[in-house]
Amino acid sequence: MAQPSTRAITSAAARRPPIRWGKVATIAGFLLPAAIIYMGLVLLPVAQAVYYSFFRWNGLGPMSNFNGLANYARAFSDRVFVGALSHNLILVVMSLAFQLPLSLGLALLIREIRWGRALFRTIFFLPFVLSEVVTGVVWTFIYRPQGGLINALLKLVAPGMPETALLADPKTVLYALFVVITWKFFGYHMILYIAGLQNIPHEIEEAAAIDGCSRLQALRYITIPLLGSTIRLSIYLSVLGSLQFFDLIWVMTTGGPVSASDTMATYLYKYGFQRFQLGYGSAIAVCLFLICFGFSLVYQRFVMRRDYE
């Protein structure tokens, strides 16, 4: 194979545009503050949590009691932590099975409304604007055994029905919390679906109707596939959110009764901050981080890759 001559290499280098150091300095000036904040508030705490997780430490004295992987072994041998992990997975499954289809269905219905569309969007989105603390306090009063809205409605339907304490029953507390979670977050996913539906040309659905497609067939073979990128993004956000639930559950039940509504985040807070077992709490935080990070890598690599491409 013929090698390029020295003259050709020199001419190619001469044609290469010179580096504009002023432009490089401008880009670095804009990126550096954000990079410093990201390293200080994200990367450094993650590295510290990994380091602390190898010690038995209460957060007050020096870290001198190194115990290796004992904190991780303790976590996965603790039935409360395994139960908290299972609760997160149950929330993930219920969100994918009920919350997202509800959001998509409402988005499709709102798209068909000619008058008052903005009003319905606002009404359904309002719960998402409320803080999780306010939402938890309000729904705690709604679920109250004496004088709560739920029991008042049940008495109207069945006057002889005894009062129920949904948040005090280990068999119902997680499902009662899921109702609140759905009420709070379904409007956010609905807005995502409405935005995705607005990007679908109406001409395609009209052409399908002219060719004899029914509304259901057009929805199945045209609307849903064209909405695929939005659905994949919504699933991604829903799963990550379900794995990290803390505020709403802590305000309403603090993980009780008898750890029936504990999640990995509430379990972490109890041991890391309330019981001053910061080494063990850091191990739980690392486990939560690895689960979320692993899911993100796998999902983006195999599911969302087509959207990036």
Q: DSSP of 24-65, one letter per residue? A: HHHHHHHHHHHHHHHIIIIIHHHHHHHHHTTB---SSS----
Residues 58-107: tens digit of each pLDDT: 888 888 899 989 999 999 999 999 999 999 999 999 999 999 999 999 99
Query: Does 127 reside within a domain?
Result: yes
Cross-strand bridge partners of residue 55: 66
* Statement to judge: residues 140 and 187 lie in one domain: yes
Token output for 91:
């929330």
* Statement to judge: residues 127 and 41 lie in one domain: no
So what's the pLDDT on residue 282? Answer: 94
Q: Please state, in angstroms and rounded to a whole number, the distance separating the CA atoms of residues 303 and 234.
A: 12
pLDDT averaged over every residue in the chain: 88
Query: Does 263 reside within a domain?
Result: yes
Q: 9 pLDDT exceeds 90? A: no
Query: Global pTM?
Result: 0.87
Residues 283-294: tens digit of each pLDDT: 999 999 999 999
- Full residue range of the structural domain in which residue 44 is found: 20-52
CA distance readout (Å), 254 to 25, 246, 249, 262, 281: 50, 9, 6, 7, 17
Query: Does 64 reside within a domain?
Result: no
* Statement to judge: residues 40 and 83 lie in one domain: no
Query: Does 57 reside within a domain?
Result: no
Q: Please state, in angstroms and rounded to a whole number, the distance separating the CA atoms of residues 285 and 47.
A: 11
CA distance readout (Å), 175 to 8, 97, 170, 288: 72, 13, 10, 22
So what's the pLDDT on residue 115? Answer: 84
Enumerate the H helices of the chain as residue ranges: 6-15, 21-38, 44-52, 70-77, 79-94, 100-112, 117-129, 132-142, 149-157, 173-198, 202-210, 215-218, 224-226, 228-243, 247-252, 264-269, 278-302, 305-308
Q: Please state, in angstroms and rounded to a whole number, the distance separating the CA atoms of residues 238 and 191.
A: 14
The pLDDT-based confidence of 154 (bands split at 50, 70, 90) is confident
What is the total count of domains within the chain?
A: 2
Query: Does 58 reside within a domain?
Result: no
**CATH number reported for the structural domain that contains residue 114 in this entry:** 1.10.3720.10
Q: Please state, in angstroms and rounded to a whole number, the distance separating the CA atoms of residues 289 and 244.
A: 9
**Which residue type is seen at 225?**
P
